[in-house]
Structure 1
Amino acid sequence: MDFFRKNSGTGSKNQSSTPVRMKIILCVIFILFATLIGQLAYLQLDYGSRFKSEVQKSNSAVVSSQVPRGVMYDTKGRVLVGNKANNAITYTKSASTTSDQAYTVSNALSNYIKLSDEKPTEQQKADFYLANPQNSKPALAKLPKSIRDSQDQSLINEKLGEEVKKQGIKLTPKQKTAALIFNKISGAYTLSTIYLKNKNLTNTEIAQVGEHLSELPGVGIGTDWQRSYPNGSSIQSIIGSVSSEKSGLPSDNLQYYLTNGYSRNDRVGTSYLEQEYEPLLKGTKSTSKVTTKGNGDIQQTKTVYKGQAGASLILTLDAKYQKKVQADLKRVYSSALASGAAHYSNGAYAVAMNPKTGALLAIAGLNRDPKKNKMTENALGVINQSFVMGSAVKGATVGGGLINKAITPTNSTLPDTAIYLPGSPVKKSVYPIGTFSALDAETALEVSSNIYMMHLAMKWVHAKYVPKSYISMPRNSFDVLRRNFNMFGLGQKTGVDLPGEVAGIQGKSFNSKGNILSGSVLDLAYGNYDAYTPIQMVQYVSTVANGGYRMQPYIVQSVGKTGTNGKQIYIDYNKEPNVQQRIPWTPDELNIVQQGFYRVVHGTNSWGTAHPLKGVKPSVSGKTGTAQTYYYDPSKPHQKNAPELINSTFVGYAPSKNPDLAVAVVFPGLDPDGEGTYTLQVAKAMIQDYYSLHK
C-alpha cells in the first residue's frame, strides 16, 4: 500500500507542475506578441508617412517624339515635297505593361479598327496565339520534359513556336488584326509612343476608339505625317525617299544613326536629296517628361520642348518647267520608238542649267527595258549614267588645242585628209573623203570634222605619223587629252549636291603588251572613246557659254524654315555660285569656239548639223554629236554580231550672246539609219518652254 501511495504521490506532483510550464510558455508568447505589436505601432506612428511616400514614390524619364520633316519648294515657292497629316491610333507603353495586358488591349482594339493592308507573319501569329494561357498551357505540356524543365526561357519559347506552327494556326480577320497590334505593342520601347494604325484610318474607327479610350490603357488618338508630292513625282528619283517607321534606320548605317541620337524606328532619308540633307530635314525632336508611379503606370506627361520642324529646302528647279521638260523628253522619245529608231535604246536624258551660276533648272530622264519595252522615269540617270558622247565634245578639243598653242586664232587651219593607220580601217568624217582639203577651227566645228580633231591631237601631243605605214604617240598622250577634258568638266565628278554621281568611264590606254593604243587616242580627240554623264555635258557647254568659268552644278538654292502660316519662308542660308576652274584662254581663243558653236546652228555650209534650230528665238548656239556603240544583252554576255547603234547628243545654250540657259540632251542606242533630229527636237522644246515661262 505504501508502495502505491508513493507512486500516487509522485503522479500528483507531476500533474501540479504542468500548469506552471504552460503559464511560462503563455507568458513568453504574450511578451513576444506585445513586443511585435509595439514594434508595429512604433513603425506605424514614426515611419508610416515615410513608407507611404515610398509606395507612392514616382520616377520620371525624358522621352522624345518625331517632328514633321522639312518641306522642299521649287524656285518659285511651290511645294515639291510636303507632309500630309494623317490621323493615327497611337500606343504609349508603360513600364508595367505585361504580355497579358498587351494581349487584352490588342483583342479589345481589334473590335474597333482593321489592319487590312498588313498581314501577320507565321511568327507573329504564333506569338499572339501563345499569349493566351488557354493555348500556351496545352502547348507547353506537349513539349519534352527536358525542355519544360529547362531554365532557358528563350529555348522554351522557340520550341513552343515551332510546335504551334506545325499544328497550323487559323486566325479570323479580327484575330489577324489583333496579332499585328500585339506584335507592335510587344516590340515597343518602354515609355515610347508608336503608331498602331496611321494609314486609311476612317472616321468611324476614330470615333469608336475615342469612345472606348478608358477601356484601352495606353491607346490614344494622334497625328502622323507622310511625304506628299503636290506638283507631281517626276523628280522623285532625284528627291529620294524616306524610310517607314516599320523599316526604321537603314541597317548599313545603323551605328552612325544611333550614335547621333536616332531611335531604331525613326524615319530617315534613304536616298538622294532626302539622304544628302538628312541632318537639316529631320528637325529637332520634341521632348517630354514622363512621370510614372511606383508600379510603373504613367502618371503624367509634360512637354519640356515642343521641338522644331525640319529645315525647308528651296530648290533651283521650276516645277512647271520641270514638268514640261519631262513631257517633251517622253513625247519625242515615244516618237523615236514608234518609228523604230529606238528599238534597242535603253532610255533618254535631258538637263538644263544656268551657265552663269550652275543652278540646275530641270532634270529629266527615261529608263527603258528593250526586252520588255517598259519605260520608267529616271531623272537620276543624268548624274549616274555614262555614254560615249561623240562630236559634242569637240569644243573642248579645239579649246585645248588653242590654249596649248597647237593652233592659234589667226592660224588654225589644218589639212582635212583622212587618217590611214597600218592594219586599221580608214579614219574619216561623216562627209565623203576629199570634200574639204583643209579647214580652220570654226569651220571644223560647224561641219563636225573628225579628221580635223585627229590632226589637231597629233600636232598637240607631237605624234609622228606616216600615212599607211607608221604612227608613234608619246606614252602620255591620253593623259594630255584627258587633263584637258577634265578642265572642262568631262570625265570627272561635277560635285553636284546629290549622292550617287559617277565620274564616267575611261577606255584602256595600253594594250596587253604595254603599248599605247594610238588609234584610240585619235578616237578620244573627237569624242568616240571615253564616256561622260549628261550633267558633265551641260557643265562643259556652260563653261563655253559663260566665257570659261566651270561652275559647280547644284540643286539646293536656299535653306530656311517655314513660318507658322505654312506659306512664308525665312531664309537662313543661300548657296553662292562656285567657280571650280577658270579656263586659261584669251578672248580671241574663246571667240573661236563660240563662233564655231554659233555656226553649227546658223552657218550656211550644207554639212552643218543643227540647222533645224536656226529659227528658234532667242538665238541658239551648240554642238551635235554621234558616237558608235553596240547593243548589249545582259543575258548574252558573250554575244557575237551585236547590233550596231549610235548615241545621239546635243549640247547648246541661249541666247548666243550673254546666255542664261544651257542644255544637254542624250539619246543613247538609236538605229544608225534612223538617228533623225530627236535630240534637236527636245532641245528646241526645252529652250522655247523656258523662255515662254520666263518672259
Structure 2
Amino acid sequence: DKKDFWMQLNEKRAAAKVTKEDESKFREQEIEGKELDKKVEELRRERITQEELSELSKEDLEVLAIKSKMNAGYKMTPQIVKKDVSQNEYAVVSERLANLPGVDTTVDWEREYPNDKILRSILGSVSTENEGLPREQLDYYLVRDYNRNDRIGKSYIEKQYEDALHGTKEQSKNITDKAGNIIRTEKVTEGKSGNNLMLTVDMELQKKVEQSLEKNLRAFHSAEPMMDRAFVVMMNPKNGQILSMAGKKIVNKDGGMQIEDFALGTMTSSYELGSTVKGATLLAGYQTETIKPYTHFFDAPMYFKGSTKPKKSWKDFGDIDDLRALQVSSNVYMFNTALKMAGINYVPNNPLDIKKETFNKMRYYFRQFGLGVPTGIDLPNESIGQMGRTDDIPGFLLDYAIGQYDTYTPLQLAQYMSTIANGGYRMKPQIVQEVREQPHRPEDIGKVVRSIEPVILNRVDMDTSYINHVKEGFRRVFQETDGTGTATFKGLPYKPAGKTGTAETVYGGESDIGRDENYNRKKCYNLTLAGYAPYDADPEVAFSVVVPWVNDDKSGINSAIGKEILDSYFELKAKRAGGNPVPVEQPNKAQ
C-alpha cells in the first residue's frame, strides 16, 4: 500500500498528521487503547494527499512492489520477488547475500515447447507461481514436500506424470533468532532435476498428420461451413503405442478464421461413427450364433408397423453374405443381424418387440473392443462417449447396429480397429514410452528410470476365425471392386484394409450456422474411416479418422485424410530404412 510505504519513509510528517487535539476528541467519545490506536491510524492515512504520494520515486515504487511480493508469501517458504533479472542484477545481489538475511538468488525454470503448437493440448499446462497449488489438492501436495506457491502440472501429460517430472528439492535448514528472524541457512541435501518423458508419438509423423488435417479443413470449409473440426489417431496395434494423436478445430478470432490444436478432442469428444462399427456387429452375431460366416440376407427396404419410413441401405443389394455386406456397407444386413439377436425373424409390417436385454448383449460385445468404455490411455479426463436410452423405441437397436445411436471418441475407434487388426487383443493406448533421468551431456538422452510396458486390457470373447473373417471383409472394402474404400485405397503398396463410415446426425456445435430459421439443429453427417496396414502380414499401424458435421456425405474428406496419413507413415518408414534416418523430436520436459 502506497500510504503505508509513504508513512515509513516520512515518519515525522506522518506523525504530524494527527494532533493531540485529534486524540482528545477520540477520548471524549470514550475511545481508548487499541481502538484509539486504530482510529488514529485511519485518520492519519486519510490525511495523506495524492500530492504527497506522488513524491514516491520510481525506485521507491519498485521497492514497494518487492516488499508486497515478500509479504504475500508464506513463512519459511521461498517467494519469488523478481524474475528475468539481468546478469548484472544477479551478480550484484549474489555478492551481498551475506548482508541480506532471508534473501537468495537462484536459477529457476520455465517450460519450453520446442515443437511450438504441435500436440499442445495433449501436453497440458503447468500452473504459475501466483496460482500455486490447487486448493482442492493442497494437503495432497503439502505432505509431499511441495510449497504452496510451487508450479505443478495442471492438465493431461503435465498432470498425469507430475510425480515423474517434478524434481527433488534441495533441503535447507533455516537458523533463526528468538524473534524468528533468519540468521543463516544451511544446506542439508542437494536437489535433483525432474525426469524427462520419452513419448511414443512420432513427432515427424505427427507434424505431417496435423498438416493434412489443417490443409483439408481449409480446402473444404468454404463449402462445408458447419464442418469445423477433424481428428486422427494412429497407433501400433501390437503394443498400443500412440504414433499420432491429432485434432484441428476452426475458430473465428478477430474477424478471421484460425485453426487451433484440438488433439485433446480425440479422447474428450464423441460422435456417432456410422458404418465403421459394423465389424463389431457381425462379430457379436457370430459369437452369439445368431449368424455364421457366409450367412445370407436379402438387402431390400424393411417396413415395420408404426413407422412410415422404411429402414434401408444406401442402395438395394439383393441377396448378399456378410463379407459382401461389409464390402458395400449394407445397413439391411446389420438390421437383420440385430433382429436375429433379439430372436425376431423379419416379417414386413410386423411390430418390433425388442427387449432391453438385446441392447445389453450387443453392447457387451462392442465394449470388448473399447467402444463405450474407457480405453485406458495414460491421460486424465477421457470421455467414454454417450449411451442412448434403451427403454423407449425398439428401432434404436437397428440404429445401434450401424453406428448411428451411441457415440464414441476417435481414440475408441482406433482401439477397436487395432483390436481386430492384432487378432483380438485390446491394448491399453500409451503415449509415454519411458521415463528418463536428466542427461549429463547435451548429446545424451538420459538413463532409463522406468519403461512403460505394453498392457493387454482383455482378449475379446470371440473365436479367432471370426475375427479373421471380418478382416477379410475389411480387405474387400479397400481392395475389391465396388468396395466403399476402393476408389482411394485399392492397389496401394502398403496394402491397407478398413471400413468407411457415414453417420446421419445433427449439428452439435455452438455456432448459429448449424441452426435453421427456427433455431433447430441442422441435419448433417459424420464422415469416418478406420483401418490398418498391411493386411497380409502382422499389421503395424492402425488408424481412425473422424470428421463431424459435414453437409455432403460424398465429399470424401475422410478418405483423403486417411490416404495422406498412411502415405506419410510408410514414406517415413522407407526413408528411415534407406540409410537416412529422420530424427524424431520427442517433446520431453524437465523440472
* TM-score, length of structure 2 as denominator length: 0.86
Deviations 1:329-368 (A, max 9, x none): 1111111114x12x11231111111001011111111123
State yes or no: 1:397 paired with 2:397: no
Shift of 1:560: 3.0
Report Cα offsets for 1:369-388 as digits up to 9, x if no partner.
47974431111111100101
> Over the residues paired in the alignment, what is the CA RMSD in angstroms?
3.1
Q: CA deviation at 1:203?
A: 3.9
Residue 359 (str. 1) matches residue 241 (str. 2): yes
* Aligned residue type for 1:649: T
User: Paired residue for 1:274, among 154, 158, 169?
Assistant: 158
Q: Distance in 2 between matches of 1:161 and 1:693?
A: 75
The verdict on how the C-alpha distance between 1:259 and 1:180 changes in structure 2, with shifts beyond 3 A counting, is same
Question: Which of 659, 665, 668 is the matching residue for 2:548?
Answer: 668
1:317 matched to 2:194: no
The residue aligned with 1:506 is 387
Q: Is the 8 A contact 1:647 1:669 kept in 2?
A: yes
> Any residues of structure 2 matched to 1:354-503 within 5 Å, and which?
354-369=236-251, 373-409=257-293, 411-421=294-304, 422-431=306-315, 433=316, 436-463=317-344, 465-503=346-384
- Percent identity reads 35
Contact kept? 1:389, 1:527, Cα under 8 Å: yes
Equivalent residue, structure 1, for 2:69: 184
Q: Is the 8 A contact 2:77 2:147 kept in 1?
A: no
* CA deviation vs aligned residue, 1:3-52 (integer Å, no higher than 9, x gap): xxxxxxxxxxxxxxxxxxxxxxxxxxxxxxxxxxxxxxxxxxxxxxxxxx
Q: Which residue, out of 613, 637, 644, partners 2:523?
A: 644
1:448/1:609 contact within 8 Å kept: no
- Tell me the secondary structure at the aligned position of residue 313 of structure 1: strand
1:147/1:646 Cα in 2 relative to 1: closer, same or farther (>3 Å)?
farther
Q: Quick check: 2:273–2:502 contact (8 Å CA) kept in 1?
A: yes
1:378–1:198 distance in 2 versus 1, CA, 3 Å: same
Q: Could you tell me which residue of structure 2 aligns to residue 350 of structure 1?
A: 232
Shift of 1:268: 1.1
Letter of the 2:65 partner, please give it: L
Q: Give the 3-state SS of the residue equivalent to 2:371 in structure 1.
A: coil
Bigger mean CA deviation after superposition, 377-386 or 574-583: 574-583
- Equivalent pair of 1:139/1:163 in contact (CA under 8 Å): no
Matching of residues 538-549 of structure 1 within 5 Å: 538-549=414-425
Partner of 2:495: 619
Deviates more, 1:632-641 or 1:444-453: 632-641
Matching residue's letter, 1:177: E
Give, in whole Å, the separation in 2 of the partners of 1:430 and 1:509.
25
Q: Residues 464 and 471 of structure 1 are in contact (CA less than 8 Å); yes or no, is this contact kept in structure 2?
A: no
Distance 1:405 1:295, change over 3 A: closer
Query: Aligned in 2, Cα 1:444/1:218: closer, same or farther, shift over 3 Å?
Result: same
* 1:123-142 equivalence runs, <5 A: 124-125=1-2, 128-129=5-6, 131-132=8-9, 134=11, 137=15
The residue that corresponds to 2:481 in the other structure is 604
Partners of 1:147 and 1:156 within 8 A in 2:
no
Q: Retained in 1: the 8 A contact 2:479–2:485?
A: no
Q: Which of 681, 685, 688 is 2:560 aligned to? A: 681
- Tell me which residue corresponds to 1:29: none
Paired letter, 2:372: G
**Amino acid of the structure 2 residue aligned with 1:483:** Y
CA distance in 2, matches of 1:375, 1:540: 29
Distance 1:518 1:671 in 2: 28
Q: Give CA deviations for 1:614-673 in whole Å, capped at 9, x if unaligned.
A: 243311001110111222464879954432111111101111131110111111011135
Query: Is residue 388–residue 647 contact of structure 1 (8 Å, CA) maintained in 2?
Result: yes
- 1:476 aligned counterpart, secondary structure: helix
- CA distance in 2 between counterparts of 1:166 and 1:469 reads 90
Larger radius of gyration: 1
* Preserved contact between residue 484 and residue 500 of structure 2 (Cα < 8 Å): no
**Shift of residue 531, structure 1, vs aligned partner:** 0.3
SS of residue matched to 2:211: helix
**Aligned residue for 2:581?**
none
Shift of 1:300: 3.8
Mapped contact 1:150–1:156 kept (Cα < 8 A): no
Between 498-507 and 586-595, report the one with greater CA deviation: 586-595
| Match among 117, 130, 137 for residue 233 of structure 1 | 117
1:552 to 410, 428, 440: 428
Superposed CA offset, 1:86-136 (max 9, x none): xxxxxxxxxxxxxxxxxxxxxxxxxxxxxxxxxxxxxx5555455545476
Number of the residue aligned with 1:529: 405
- Whether contact under 8 Å (1:464, 1:472) holds in the other structure is no
Greater mean deviation of Cα atoms: 282-291 or 327-336: 282-291
Quickly say closer, same or farther: Cα 1:635–1:137, change in 2 above 3 A: farther
Note if contact 1:396-1:485 (Cα within 8 Å) is conserved in structure 2. yes
Q: Which residue of 1 aligns with 2:539?
A: 659
Report how many aligned residue pairs link the two structures.
558
SS at match of 1:317: coil
- In 2, Cα distance between equivalents of 1:322 and 1:689: 10
Aligned to 1:593: 470
Partner of 2:582: none
SS of equivalent to 1:323:
helix
Worse-matched range after superposition: 462-471 or 276-285: 462-471
Aligned to 2:107: 223
Unmatched 5+ residue regions in structure 2?
575-591
Distance 2:479 2:330 in 1: 17
Rounded to whole Å, the distance in 1 between the matches of 2:200 and 2:348 is: 52
Tell me if the contact between 1:126 and 1:161 (Cα under 8 Å) persists in the aligned partners.
no
Matched, 1:253 2:129: no
TM-score normalized with structure 1 length: 0.74
Q: Which residue of 1 aligns with 2:450?
A: 573
- Correspondence for 2:579: none
Query: 1:148: Cα distance to partner?
Result: 7.9
Which whole-Å CA distance do the structure 1 matches of 2:149 and 2:80 have between them? 11
* Among 181, 184, 190, the residue aligned to 1:306: 190
> Cα distance 1:166–1:602, how it changes in 2: closer, same or farther (>3 A)?
farther
Compared CA separation, residues 176 and 348, structure 1 to 2 (3 A): farther
